[in-house]
Homo-oligomer: A and B are copies of this chain.
Amino acid sequence: MNLVKPQTIAGVMELLPEKQIQFNYVLNTIERCFKQYGFLPIDTPLIEKDDILFAKGGGETEKQIFKIQSESKDMSLRYDLTVPLARYTAEHFQDLSFPFKRYQIGKVYRGERNQKGRYKEFYQCDIDIIGNGSLSIFNDAQLPAVIYEIFSQLNLKDVLFQINNRKLLNGYFKYLDIKDSEVLLRTIDKMKKIGMSKTEELLFSDIKDSEKVSKIIEFISSDELNEQKIKNLEKDDFNNIYSEGIQELKNVYEYMKLFNIPDENIKIDLSITRGLDYYTSTVYETFIKGYESIGSVSSGGRYENLTENFSKQKLPGVGMSIGLTRLFYQLDNLGLTKDYNAGRIDYLVIPMHKQFNEKALEVYNSLKNYKSCDIFLEDCKIKKKFNYADKINVKECIIIGEEEVLNGKVTVKDMKTGEQKLIELSCLI
């Protein structure tokens, strides 16, 4: 028979069980925190109709899409969890309670070019809070609190939330009499990558006015401490949109602290804009101090109307997202995932010979309700049995042989130290 070469498609992350346990540890930590903060789960299909996915217009996204071959219907794999959330919220509007706090963790698909740390299939972990008609600004402070809790539980407490409010920038651009502020926001979004002088160049080619460019650069680069920065911003009263921006940003900042995020983990940074059009006020990015090279580990912001393409209701919302697959790749590369090992089993019960299988099963049955454990019933040399125990990285082996059966005891072998002791079974439980 001709053998087929066993390999995954290109550009996907597939892990060995040992790494998968670490990956799942991160995923479970994220989900636990989402739930703990009162977010409700949803699980939408991976395939959506194209008219849903591209309701906003295709553009760049459409080029990256995985389309399903089908004679009668146009459908594709989802490329994010936000469009499905919008469709879900509009479809089930009558049955949902608002504010609708939902989380979703799932795979999404983008035909990115093959590149290290970039994946065609990757997990997104999203939380969003959707209001019906209106949504208080305090929700914008709870989302970072959830993200802070997650990274604390992953022993990465040293995160830095960079927050901003687009209204503030839009108000300032309006004051400078600049019309197309979306273009400028996208240019400024690149600053951390391309540097200040390149940004200045691009801004100049956007608006052709070096005086205004200088003012913008000065405005977005101010680096006072948070409290001082707000005080300075409050001194000006350019227009309504600007004032709204200040007030919202101040509220988010103060409530983040009330949600127990330390001040040193927050940075009001007016150069944070997020490239995406649909954010309208609060925007966030999150970095891990000392590991800024990873990039933002969680981003998001507030949008004015989630379901504008699907319904007449006005449903403002705010969301944050963790790109889990890329995050895990980076943390793993930095050697930071070593402690994420919950899920290994405590005991492996090993009969020395198959004649002790029954006794071993008895011991196994009495243990398994108290401890995570397994039993090894393959008929092979004892050395092979311990090799297996080593490989699956079990903590202790419970050995059942003649002596153990006669004395009604068990031998416990610590697989790290190699130490063995004969003890009463009841002492184990």
Contact = CB atoms under 8 A, between A and B. Distances in A.
- Residue among A4, A49, A134 with max Cβ neighbours from chain B (10 Å): A4
Interface string A19-41: 01101100000000001111011
A102 interface: yes
A244 to B, nearest CB: 16
A406 interface: no
Contacts of A102: 17
Question: Taking the full assembly, how many copies of this chain does it contain?
Answer: 2
- Residue among A66, A95, A308 with max Cβ neighbours from chain B (10 Å): A66
A131 interface: yes
A155 to B, nearest CB: 17
Interface string A175-212: 00000000000000000000000000000000000000
Contacts of A98: 388
Contact of A48 (B8, B17, B391, B392): B8
A44 B343 contact: no
A429 interface: no
Given A38-B392, A343-B35, A259 B6 contact: no
Given A47-B66, A69-B68, A378-B131, A41 B12 contact: no
A260 B44 contact: no
Interface in A84-111: 86-88, 90-92, 95-99, 101-102, 107, 109
A60 to B, nearest CB: 18
A345 interface: yes
A113 interface: no
B374 A38 contact: yes
A77 to B, nearest CB: 8
A106 to B, nearest CB: 9
A402 interface: no
A7 interface: yes
A6 to B, nearest CB: 4
* Chain A: interface size category: 35 or more
A311 interface: yes
A305 to B, nearest CB: 11
A160 B343 CA distance: 30
B9 A48 contact: yes
A15 interface: yes
Nearest to A392: B97
A139 interface: yes
A136 B378 contact: yes
A411 interface: no
A388 B139 CA distance: 15
B391 A97 contact: yes
A217 interface: no
A230 interface: no
A278 to B, nearest CB: 14
B310 A3 contact: yes
Contact of A7 (B91, B138, B388): B91
Question: What are the 7 tightest A-B residue pairs by CB atom distance, in nearest-first order?
Answer: A38-B374, A17-B40, A97-B391, A6-B90, A138-B377, A6-B91, A6-B310
9 contacts: A1-B309, A6-B91, A7-B87, A46-B121, A47-B121, A97-B388, A99-B388, A139-B377, A258-B358
Interface of A: 1, 3-9, 12, 14-17, 20-21, 23-24, 35-38, 40-49, 51-52, 55, 66-69, 73, 75, 77, 86-88, 90-92, 95-99, 101-102, 107, 109, 121, 131, 134-136, 138-139, 142, 255, 258-260, 307-312, 343, 345, 348, 357-358, 361-362, 365, 368, 372-375, 377-379, 388, 391-392
